[in-house]
Chains A and B, each alone.
Chain A
Amino acid sequence: MVEIKDLHKSFNSNVVLDGVSFNVTEAENMVVFGRSGTGKSVLLKCMIRLMDPDAGDVFIQGKDVLKLELKELNELRKNIGFLFQGSALYDSMSVRENLEFPLIRNFDLDQKEIDERIHFVLEAVSLLEAINKMPSELSGGMRKRIGLARSIITKPKLMLYDEPTTGLDPITSKEISVLITELQHALKMTSIVVTHDLLCAKIIADRAIVLNEGKIVKEGSINDLTTSEDPLLKNFFSDEIIEHKGSMK
């Protein structure tokens, strides 16, 4: 489904991605771990060409993403959902308009079908009552849910999540993580989740990789990573556990 080969990206002298390669198979949930500033979000943005990498290859559904013309790229993007760290809801549009926006512009659907899809996704994220609200009237958790609803309304084959639980309290974090997993199963999507939240990763991940200084330092199941004797991983996961316990208090 997704194949990343030797991806490089630098900002001036700051090397952010230094030869990153991995594969994600269909319907698999892959988590990308790493401390802040290790290039996790840059990796996601390079995958869908919100940023152009300096070198390397990205294949999604067999297509060489970096060589696609804009029109072909936009066609491919219609099959990809992206949940942004800050949800990125359109401020000037209501929840309904936010959800309608990708459908009206990209798909030839009648109003009845659009309404059905809006109902379906809002029910899935348990926010049917927010349909006519403006984003400014929503809490952080609600915005995240609506952002998720907007990402899945086009029924994408691949979902990319950029820190889906950042800025949320532990209970809401857990709810969002569970919701993501449920939707993954219901819609049979492949997903790549960038996070530093261990609990979120434990709930979602089939497999995980750890990024450090632009390189993949370890790949395996969450259990493999958290029980690894590698000093870097031990250090990383012990910090995460402390942080998690701290936030639960």
Chain B
Amino acid sequence: MNNTSTTGKLFDTTEKRLTEFFNMLGGLTSFSVRFIKEVFLPPYEVEQIRKHMIELGMKTLPIVGVTGFIIGLVMAMQLSPVLKRFGAEAFLPGSVGISIVRELGPVICALIFAGRVSSGIGAELGSMRVTEQIDAMEVSGVNPFRYLVVTRIFATTFILPILTVYVIFISLIGAYIAVVLVQNMTWAYYLDRVIFSVEFGDAIPGVAKTFVFGYIVGLVGAYKGYTAENGTEGVGKASTSAVVVSSLLILIFDMVLVKLTLWIWPTVK
């Protein structure tokens, strides 16, 4: 009897979770379609987009910079003894450079951006939703989706690639410091080895995929906030789940995009 009721409860919970998950997927898809429809329609909120890009970029710049620097430093420190074991120390700048440019820089930057920005957008729009500010905007004849959502998604899509280039550069500096500690190498020689090893075929897909990551961060944050309900509790949930969902989607899309890149561009070393 007890086992049956426990199984029943488990079934109910799983069913509820699955329903919520598919509802969210449906919601995100229709939100995405609405964004694509509305982004091309006037009035174009250029001033709002500019404001969000500066605000979100400045807000994230210090944390992604520090993280990028440490990642580069640690990466080089970890790789150095391994390469030494195989007598391949000369490849250190190249290996670090390729890892950072192709994968670590874009993904780490996107994950930190998601943690910082997606939750912020979720909380901001969520609080506007529960305090009826979005309704007030709608009643005054202004399209809140275009003013609040389209501008934010647009801003995150275009600011993340810029931040990624910055993170890659800072990571390479971090890695250089680690290299200098173990090998006697000048900055010019280090940079030459990195540039020699990293090709456009490494850099372009690495940075290009961050447009998709930026879109995901904006879309999930805005969706969670815009559809928040149940007062302040709902705002908290919107903010937390925005981070979880956007981080997960970034990793899933990274996997798909890496596979896609290798399929389209098999000559990439």
Stretch of A77-85, A205-213, A220-228 that contacts chain B: A77-85
Provide the bound-state CA to CA distance between A182 and B140, in Å: 22
Contact A88 B142 (CB under 8 A): no
Contact A77 B132 (CB under 8 A): no
Contact with B along A64-91 (1 / 0, CB 8 A): 0000001000110110101011101111
Interface residue count on the A side (C-beta < 8 Å): 22
Interfacial residues, chain B to chain A (CB-CB below 8 A): 127-128, 131-133, 135-143
Provide the bound-state CA to CA distance between A25 and B137, in Å: 27
- Contact A86:B131 (CB < 8 A) given known A78-B141, A105-B140, A154-B140: yes
Least CB distance from A153 to B in Å reads 10
Provide the bound-state CA to CA distance between A77 and B136, in Å: 11
Contact of A105 among B127, B133, B139, B141 (CB under 8 A): B141
A102 within 8 A of B: yes
Contact B142 A91 (CB under 8 A): no
A176 within 8 A of B: no
- Contact A74:B143 (CB < 8 A) given known A50-B138, A91-B127: yes
Mostly, the B contact residues are: helix
Interfacial residues, chain A to chain B (CB-CB below 8 A): 45, 48, 50, 70, 74-75, 77-78, 80, 82, 84-86, 88-91, 101-102, 105-106, 154
Provide the bound-state CA to CA distance between A105 and B42, in Å: 12
Contact of B141 among A75, A86, A91 (CB under 8 A): A75
**Cβ contacts under 8 Å, B127 to chain A:** 91
Contact A82 B142 (CB under 8 A): no
Across chains A and B, which 4 residue pairs bring their CB atoms closest together, nearest first?
A: A88-B136, A102-B140, A88-B132, A74-B141
Contact B132 A85 (CB under 8 A): yes
Can you name the residue of chain B whose Cβ is closest to the Cβ of A92?
Answer: B124
Least CB distance from A98 to B in Å reads 9
Which among B131, B137, B140 has the greatest number of chain A C-beta atoms within 10 A? B140
Sample of 4 further A-B pairs with CB below 8 A, known A88-B135, A105-B141: A78-B141, A88-B133, A101-B140, A102-B140
Contact A84 B135 (CB under 8 A): yes
Contact A105 B135 (CB under 8 A): no
Number of A-B pairs, beta carbon distance below 8 Å: 51
**Cβ contacts under 8 Å, A45 to chain B:** 135
Can you name the residue of chain B whose Cβ is closest to the Cβ of A80?
Answer: B139
**Cβ contacts under 8 Å, A88 to chain B:** 131-133, 135-136
Least CB distance from A138 to B in Å reads 14
Provide the bound-state CA to CA distance between A75 and B133, in Å: 19
**Cβ contacts under 8 Å, A90 to chain B:** 128, 133, 136-137
Provide the bound-state CA to CA distance between A50 and B135, in Å: 7
Can you name the residue of chain B whose Cβ is closest to the Cβ of A73?
Answer: B141
Provide the bound-state CA to CA distance between A84 and B140, in Å: 12
Least CB distance from B136 to A in Å reads 4
Contact A86 B132 (CB under 8 A): yes
What are 18 of the A-B contact pairs (CB < 8 Å)? A48-B139, A50-B135, A70-B143, A75-B141, A77-B140, A82-B139, A84-B132, A85-B132, A88-B132, A89-B133, A90-B128, A90-B133, A91-B128, A91-B133, A102-B140, A105-B140, A105-B142, A106-B142
Contact A77 B133 (CB under 8 A): no
Least CB distance from B241 to A in Å reads 22
Which among B128, B138, B141 has the greatest number of chain A C-beta atoms within 10 A? B141
Contact of A102 among B128, B132, B141, B143 (CB under 8 A): B141
Can you name the residue of chain A whose Cβ is closest to the Cβ of B147?
Answer: A105
Contact A101 B139 (CB under 8 A): no
Can you name the residue of chain B whose Cβ is closest to the Cβ of A84?
Answer: B132
Can you name the residue of chain B whose Cβ is closest to the Cβ of A105?
Answer: B142
Contact A102 B142 (CB under 8 A): yes
**Cβ contacts under 8 Å, B141 to chain A:** 74-75, 77-78, 102, 105-106
- Contact A77:B128 (CB < 8 A) given known A88-B133, A90-B133, A91-B133: no
**Cβ contacts under 8 Å, A84 to chain B:** 132, 135-136
Provide the bound-state CA to CA distance between A90 and B128, in Å: 8
**Cβ contacts under 8 Å, B138 to chain A:** 50, 77
Provide the bound-state CA to CA distance between A80 and B138, in Å: 11
Provide the bound-state CA to CA distance between A85 and B97, in Å: 57
Least CB distance from B164 to A in Å reads 28
Provide the bound-state CA to CA distance between A82 and B139, in Å: 7
**Cβ contacts under 8 Å, A70 to chain B:** 143
